[in-house]
Structure 1
Amino acid sequence: MDRLIYTAYSGMTGSMVRERVIASNMANAQTVGFRQEMLSATPVTLKGPALEARAMTQGYVQGSSMKQGATMATNNPLDVALSGDTMLAVQTQDGSEAYTRRGDLTITTDGVLQNGDGRPVIGDGGPITVPTGTIVTIAPDGTVLAGDPQNPSTPPQAVARIKLVSTQGSQVGKGLDGLFRVTGPNNTIGTLPQDEEARLTPGALEQSNVDPTQVLVEMVEAQRLFDMRTKVASTAREVDEKSASLMRLNT
């Protein structure tokens, strides 16, 4: 009975974690540059002096799928699509550097270049700021160009260059804010150098790599599995009650 209760409880807890991960993926199926989260479940044996047969399942987010998402042309000069293992650097709320695949860029009223999450895009000297009232375009190497609308014949001038990095060979982790960071020993946070060979595609966006159909099927399966494990807990209760009844009859 003790083993059955632990099995049912462990299974229900694991199913709830799985449903939360699937729900997050489903909610971000249309988010630009989103990376699907992956769940890992590991059995953990409860060791004791008398019995070591009880095992529970410990589920946690293992990481994110770095599979390439579909690229969609938008013809918006501020939209950029990244390919391969390239990411662009943005500034977080605490002023540190993080990385993202979200390339739907906009310019604030103060001239700050930011992505769809409202994170300032980092360049050679920090967050990129462009002159207000200019026509801004982005070159394939990440160079931000500003043109004078009053003189269309004048070539646009380079304002800054977006910091593009490569995550190949680096240990990166995804935070609760959806941004990627370099993780080092003792959970230290590091930064990546500029990748001079990195290129982007202007006028396009990379879509989420979540398959809506697949994630919907996963949600249905997770819900059915939770129901089955709930029935196991109910069965364990019935068996316990019947066993107690038999003990009272013998008495």
Structure 2
Amino acid sequence: MDGVLFVVGSGAKQLMHAQAVNSHNLANVNTIGFQADLANFRTQVVNGAGHESRAYAVAEDVGARFDKGTIQSTGRPLDVAVNGDGWIAVQAPDGSEAYTRAGNLRININGQLLTGGGHPVLGEAGPIVIPEAEKLEIGQDGTISVRPVGQLPNTLAEVGRIKLVAPAQEDLVKGGDGLLRTRTNAPVPASTEVTLISGALESSNVNSVEAMVDMIGLARQFEMAVTIMQTAKEMDEKTSQLMDLG
């Protein structure tokens, strides 16, 4: 009977983990550039003395989905969407280089270019700082041009270039902060193959209908696991009663 409880009890625990991952995805269905998290299950045998007859379920975070969200036009000069494969390089809170597809950029009071999540956008020489200007344009190659205050309408000056990278998907892992990093945490060289779409944003790649169906399915599986545990308990109690009669 303990074999049943090993499998079902651990399975119920991991189903709760899967439900948490799915709920997190659903909560970010409207988050710009969000990459949905994935979770997987495998069976792990209990090692030890005697015959290995006990097993339990293990949930594994297998990374993120890298399919693309929908490109939506906004017309806002600071909004950019990555065209095809590729990422925008940003500075993570710990100072390391990380990557995102969230292109809802903004400029803080110090002139620093930030993502919507507050992460500094990296250029060729570190975080990009934008001087005070009357107009700003972001080119397909990430080049940022501005018209300084008081200059003629056709005067544009290049002030930086957003670092765009194209690492292999299998080399990327997603952190708890929602940013992607390489498995070795080493910076990736800039790529000239990655381009941006100015005045547009990429939506989350979470399918809300699929996530809702998964939520219902996981809830039913959890209920089934609880029912099996309750049945195992009742069978154990009946077995004990029969033993007492003997």
For Structure 1 versus Structure 2, the TM-score category normalised by the shorter chain is over 0.9
Distance 2:52 2:40 in 1: 23
Q: 1:171-194 deviations in whole A, cap 9, x for unaligned? A: 11000000011113xxxx101001
Q: Which residue of 2 aligns with 1:68?
A: 68
The answer to whether residue 64 in structure 2 is matched with residue 55 in structure 1 is no
Displacement of 1:169 in angstroms is 6.5
In structure 1, list runs of 5 or more residues that go unmatched: none
Bigger mean CA deviation after superposition, 68-77 or 88-97: 88-97
Distance 1:73 1:205 in 2: 6
Distance 1:203 1:100 in 2: 17
The answer to whether residue 146 in structure 2 is matched with residue 150 in structure 1 is no
Q: Which residue of 1 aligns with 2:91?
A: 91
Distance 1:169 1:48 in 2: 38
Displacement of 1:132 in angstroms is 2.2
CA contact (8 A) 1:21 1:61 kept: no
Distance 2:169 2:245 in 1: 68
Q: Which residue of 1 aligns with 2:224?
A: 228
Structure 2 matches for 1:86-165, cutoff 5 A?
Answer: 86-165=86-165
Q: Which residue of 2 aligns with 1:198?
A: 194
Distance 2:186 2:4 in 1: 45
Q: Which residue of 1 aligns with 2:18?
A: 18
Distance 1:74 1:217 in 2: 31
Give 3-state SS (helix, strand or coil) of 1:140's partner: coil
CA contact (8 A) 1:15 1:222 kept: yes
Corresponding pairs, count = 246
- In structure 2, relative to structure 1, the CA distance for the partners of 1:81 and 1:88 (3 Å cut) is same
Bigger mean CA deviation after superposition, 171-180 or 46-55: 46-55
Q: 1:144-202 deviations in whole A, cap 9, x for unaligned? A: 11113533423210000000000236611000000011113xxxx10100102221000
Q: Which residue of 1 aligns with 2:209?
A: 213
Paired amino acid for 1:68: K
The answer to whether residue 244 in structure 2 is matched with residue 248 in structure 1 is yes
Distance 1:83 1:67 in 2: 12
Bigger mean CA deviation after superposition, 228-237 or 239-248: 239-248
CA contact (8 A) 1:90 1:100 kept: yes
TM-score (norm 1): 0.94
TM-score (norm 2): 0.96
Bigger mean CA deviation after superposition, 143-152 or 238-247: 143-152
CA contact (8 A) 1:148 1:154 kept: no
The Cα RMSD (Å) is 1.3
Distance 2:97 2:132 in 1: 25
CA contact (8 A) 1:29 1:210 kept: yes
Displacement of 1:14 in angstroms is 1.7
Distance 1:52 1:236 in 2: 21
CA contact (8 A) 1:174 1:180 kept: yes
Displacement of 1:47 in angstroms is 2.6
The sequence identity of aligned pairs, in percent, is: 37
CA contact (8 A) 2:15 2:222 kept: yes
Bigger mean CA deviation after superposition, 76-85 or 129-138: 129-138
CA contact (8 A) 1:9 1:233 kept: yes
Paired amino acid for 2:6: Y
Distance 2:49 2:8 in 1: 23
Q: Which residue of 1 aligns with 2:38?
A: 38
Distance 1:223 1:51 in 2: 34
Give 3-state SS (helix, strand or coil) of 1:88's partner: strand
